[in-house]
Amino acid sequence: MSGILYFVPTPVGNLEDMTFRAVKVLKEVDYILCEDTRTSGILLKHYEISKPLRSYHLHNEHQATDKVVQDLENGQNIAIITDAGTPGISDPGYLLAKACADKNLEMICLPGATAFVPALVVSGLPNHDFYFAGFLPQKKGRQTKLKQLAEEKKTIILYESPHKINTTLEQIKEFFGEETKISLSREISKKFEETKRGTISELIDFSKSKTLKGEIVLVVNNS
C-alpha cells in the first residue's frame, strides 16, 4: 500500500501560527522534506518534533523527486514543508505534486499559513476576483509579464524582495498608471508587521523614504 504525501504549511512569522494538525502530522510521518534543515530544525525543536529532515529545494528538487516518489510507492508517509508558508506557493512543491499526480499517489494539503491571503484581506481592495502572480521574472520576460498583468481586470497580487521593491513600484506605475491604488504589506505575522495603502505614487514615496525589510506582498487594484 502506498504512503501519503502531506503538504504542511509553516508559519510565515509567528511560530504560534502553526496548527495542531500540522504538528500532529509532522510527528507521525516517516520523514520531512524541507528547504533548509537549519531553519526547519528551529521549528521542529520548538514543537518537540524529532523526525529525519531531508533537503528539498529549488536546486535539487528534480533529482530528489524520483526518490521521494519511490519511497511513497514503498508505503512511507512523507511531509513537505518550506521555510515559511504553504509548499508549492512560490516555493518548492509543484514538481513533486505533479509527479505524485502522474503516479496517482495520494496527497493531502493542510490548510494554513500563506503570505498573500492576509495581505489581500487587509488591503481594503476588491478581493472577490484576484490574480496571484507570485514573483515577477528577474530579467527576461519581466516587462512582458507586467504588460500582461496590466490587461487583467482583477486585483493583482505580487511577491517582491526588499532590494527590488523600488524598481517594481516604478514599473507598476509605468504599466498600470500613476493613480493606481496599491497596498504594500511586509513582515506579515512578525513583530514589525506593517501595511501601507495609497496610490502607486504615494507608495513609491513611502518606499524610498525608508529601508524596507522582509518579504513584501503587493496588492494592486486593477479591477
pLDDT tens digits along 183-196:
999 999 999 999 99
pLDDT category at 111 given cuts 50, 70, 90 is very high
Same domain, 90 and 168: no
The pLDDT, as a whole number, for residue 50 is 97
Q: Do 199 and 143 share a domain, yes or no?
A: yes
Given 59, 82, 109, the domain boundary residue is: 109
Q: 12 and 38 share a domain?
A: yes
Q: End of a domain among 109, 137, 157?
A: 109
Instruction: Indicate if the pLDDT at residue 58 is higher than 90.
Output: no
| Shared-domain flag, residues 206 and 148 | yes
What Cα–Cα distance (Å) separates residue 33 from each residue in 2, 64, 103, 162? 18, 10, 19, 27
Same domain, 34 and 130: no
Looking at the structure, tell me whether residues 96 and 176 fall in a common domain: no
**149-183 exposure pattern, b = at least 16 Cβ within 10 A, e = fewer:** bbeeebbbbbbbeeeebeebbebbbebbeeebbbb
Mean pLDDT for the stretch of residues 201-221: 95
Name the percent of the chain lying above pLDDT 90.
96
Mean pLDDT, all residues of the chain: 96
Write out pLDDT tens, residues 4-42: 999 999 999 999 999 999 999 999 999 999 999 999 999
pTM over 0.85, yes/no:
yes
Over residues 136-169, the pLDDT tens digits come to 998 899 999 999 999 999 999 999 999 999 999 9
pLDDT band of 116, cuts 50, 70, 90: very high
**Rounded to whole angstroms, how far apart are CA atoms 169 and 167?**
6
- Give the CATH number, domain containing residue 55: 3.40.1010.10
Question: Looking at residue 223, what is its pLDDT?
Answer: 85
Tell me: pLDDT of 51 over 90.
Answer: yes
Residues of the domain holding 194: 115-221
CATH number at residue 206: 3.30.950.10
Per the structure, how many domains does the chain have? Answer: 2
Write down the pLDDT at residue 182: 98
Do residues 219 and 123 make contact, with C-beta atoms less than 8 angstroms apart? yes
pLDDT of 134 higher than 90 = yes
CA–CA separation, 188 and 48 (whole Å) = 25
Measured from the Cβ of residue 42, the count of other Cβ atoms closer than 10 Å reads 10
Asked which of 75, 109, 143 is the last residue of a domain, the reply is 109
* 153 and 204 both lie in a single domain: yes
Grid cell of 149 as nine digits? 498583468
H-run or E-run covering 66: helix 61-73
